[in-house]
Amino acid sequence: MFSPDRPIYRQIRDLIVTRILDSGDGALLPSVRALAAEAKVNPLTVAKAYHDLQATGLVEAKKGVGLFAAEGAAKALLLQERRLFLDDEWPRVRARMAKLGLSAAELLERA
């Protein structure tokens, strides 16, 4: 399930980000234990991913209630994910397309 080329906590963070993007601001997120069981990882790994998101203000912990996507988190994450795609992933995709002799038009025809 996890790629060996990135730390697992970063991949868990990506799972949480996807849930926030899918569910929106204010969404109840899975507990550390529940997500650890679902992903079959150590709860400390999940806690580290949540800690990163809480430190940036994207996730809020409500004592006795749970973890929630913060107000404005979905919009901020969408902008962040778009920037990461354009800066990190797109150049590799574009290089691979050039290597294979594929055009954008060919890809759009198959979409």
By C-alpha distance, which of 46, 35, 57 is closest to 10? 46
pLDDT per residue over 27-66, tens digit each?
999 999 999 999 999 999 999 999 999 999 999 999 999 9
Opening angle at CA 13, ends 35 and 52, nearest 5: 110
Question: Has residue 110 got a pLDDT over 90?
Answer: no
Q: How far is CA 36 from CA 18, 30, 51, 85, 89, in A?
A: 16, 9, 14, 27, 27
Kindly tell me if the per-residue pLDDT of 95 is higher than 90. yes
- Per-residue pLDDT band at 23 (split at 50, 70, 90): very high
Average pLDDT, the chain: 95
The answer to whether the CB of 1 falls within 8 A of the CB of 40 is: yes
- Residue-level pLDDT at 1: 75
| All structural domains of the chain | 8-110 (1.10.10.10)
